[in-house]
Structure 1
Amino acid sequence: MKLNFPSLMLAVALLSPFTSQAETSVAEAVKAQRIRELKKEILRIAEQASGKVVYDNEDNDPRVRARLMPLVQELISLAPARTQQQLLPDVVGVWKSVWSDLTYYSPSVPLANGMYQVVFPNGFYYNLSAYDGPQGTYMGVLRGTFVVAEPALRIQFVKATRSPEVMPRGADVATLAMRAELGVYDVELDPNNAPALGFRTDFRQEYVDDELRIGTGIVSSGFDTLFILRRADKVE
């Protein structure tokens, strides 16, 4: 059989865009699957390591960070590059802190399973934490403000109060934050967070989607602290 090379070349040329699209679709599917795997493993390690945070950082073993960082760096490399301003709409909302290697220097320390953050779209946020220590269990309320200062958010702590009211399981976290904004918990100063009032620092959102948020900032023990958070609307 004699091949008609012009016709064959035309057929190849016509098929090339479809082949390229198919290859791109496969590559995107592989990337999406890898992102899901990385997120699952990051959360697995972080949740397994979380527990009661102690002020000498003993439970935030640096080996946990060593396991997390290669996974975090790969995840960041696979995600589309976005500025802090572009990430901000995804940052807004309620988050539960799963793990961080922030060092605490106080007899009363936040329980890792009881730390939530509510980020509002108009430049402020609340950290609501269940604390345990010599003064008993209570809810710490830390209000912060932020502005976009690429390549990070510039944050400042502006109010630190506490309430003997503990965060009840199943409570709506955003409602607790709104009550805090209305001054419901402005009963007494929180001695643990009060020294941080006025403190300014940069916090960088490294990865954010509708399930997972990873950030770095607040220099502790000589390096940027790593924060792993996930979506959680209710107190767990």
Structure 2
Amino acid sequence: MKRFAAALSMAVFLVSPLLRADDTADRIKELKYEILQIAFDAQGEFDTDDNSVEVRQKLDPLVDELASLVPARTEQEKLIDVIGTWYQVWADGPGGQPGMGARADSIWQVVFPEGYYWNVARDQYGEAKNMGYLRGKFTVGDNALNIEFTKAVTNPDWSYSEPTRLAMLAEFGAFDKNPAPPEQSPIGKKGILQNVYVDEDIRIVRGGGGDFGNNTYLYILERD
């Protein structure tokens, strides 16, 4: 009987971590779904419509819990997951687009392994429409990416729907003949982006600092 009890105790010891791991995985899925649902429901017409304190108050505790359920990684370790094309679902920070007229349902960020990224967005000012392209370069710190905006251009044709291709065209100078007006351009501004959570589906970023002041902004992105 004692041998059976000892064997049962050992079995429980071996199985319990597996059960806890399954519970954690399920909770991660639940949190990701809830965060995206809140973000999509709160998506405004333009990126500046997203600046809702109430939505941020709903998202922050969920984001913090999600980040707590995965092993800690440095920004360098996260970078392999950060690289790629991301669709911005919701944000309460600066859109970073020339003129700040980006449509909230048409904002992407394409991150390249060479140390730069492009924000690609459909911009609209009244009846005027164009594609906006904003380039940022980054260096990897221990806890955040150090960023600086280096180029802002536009293109009157916003019919394309392939942000990765468009970002590559912008990098090769295809839209250089249409630089953003200086008064609308954030070129030279510096800040940080901290990837709080990133996996194969979702990326959550907190950013700010530097030229963007002391506020910490939240960006919810889904892999495109």
Q: Which residue of 2 aligns with 1:187?
A: 177
Q: Which residue of 2 aligns with 1:60?
A: 51
- 1:231 and 2:223 matched: yes
Residue of structure 2 equivalent to 1:176: 166
Return the TM-score normalized by structure 2. 0.90
CA RMSD of aligned residues (A): 2.2
State the alpha-carbon separation in 1 of the partners of residues 58 and 213 from structure 2: 18
Match of 2:15 in 1: 22
Deviation at 1:44, TM superposition (A): 0.4
Within 1, Cα distance between the matches of 2:67 and 2:123?
32
Distance 1:74 1:136 in 2: 42
Structure 1 position 101 matched with structure 2 position 95: no
> CA–CA distance in 1 between the matches of 2:167 and 2:33?
28
- Closer, same or farther: CA 152–103 of 1 in aligned 2, 3 Å: closer
CA distance in 1, matches of 2:183, 2:193: 18
Is 1:103–1:221's contact at 8 Å kept on the other side of the alignment?
Answer: no
1:142 to 1:150, Cα distance in 2 relative to 1, 3 A: same
Q: What SS does the aligned partner of 1:157 have?
A: strand
Q: Distance in 2 between matches of 1:162 and 1:71?
A: 36
Match of residue 28 from structure 2:
35
Query: Match of 1:198?
Result: 188
**Bigger Rg, which one:** 1
Give the letter for the 2:188 counterpart.
G
- Aligned CA distance change for structure 1 residues 108 and 124 (closer, same or farther; 3 Å): closer
Q: For 1:63-83, what per-residue CA distance to the aligned partner results, in whole angstroms no more than 9, with x for missing partners?
A: 000111111111111121111
Equivalent of 1:89 in 75, 80, 89: 80
CA distance in 2, matches of 1:13, 1:225: 53
TM-score normalised by structure 1 residue count: 0.86
- Residue 121 (1) aligns with residue 99 (2): no
Q: Is 1:153 paired with 2:152?
A: no
Deviation sequence 1:21-42 (CA, Å, 0-9, x none) = 2100110111111110110010
Aligned with 1:45 (options 33, 38, 42): 38
What secondary structure, in the 3-state scheme, does the structure 1 residue paired with 2:222 have? strand
Q: 1:58 to 1:174 in 2, by over 3 A?
A: closer
How far apart are the structure 1 equivalents of 2:137 and 2:93?
Answer: 20
Q: CA deviation at 1:152?
A: 0.4
Long gaps (5+) in structure 1: none
**Aligned position for 1:209:** 199
User: Residue 197 of structure 2 contacts residue 205 of structure 2 at CA under 8 Å; is this kept in 1?
Assistant: yes
Higher mean C-alpha displacement, 32-41 vs 159-168: 159-168
Q: Percent identity?
A: 38
Answer yes or no: is the 8 Å Cα contact 1:108–1:133 preserved in 2: no
Return the alpha-carbon distance in structure 2 between the equivalents of residues 85 and 107 of structure 1. Answer: 32
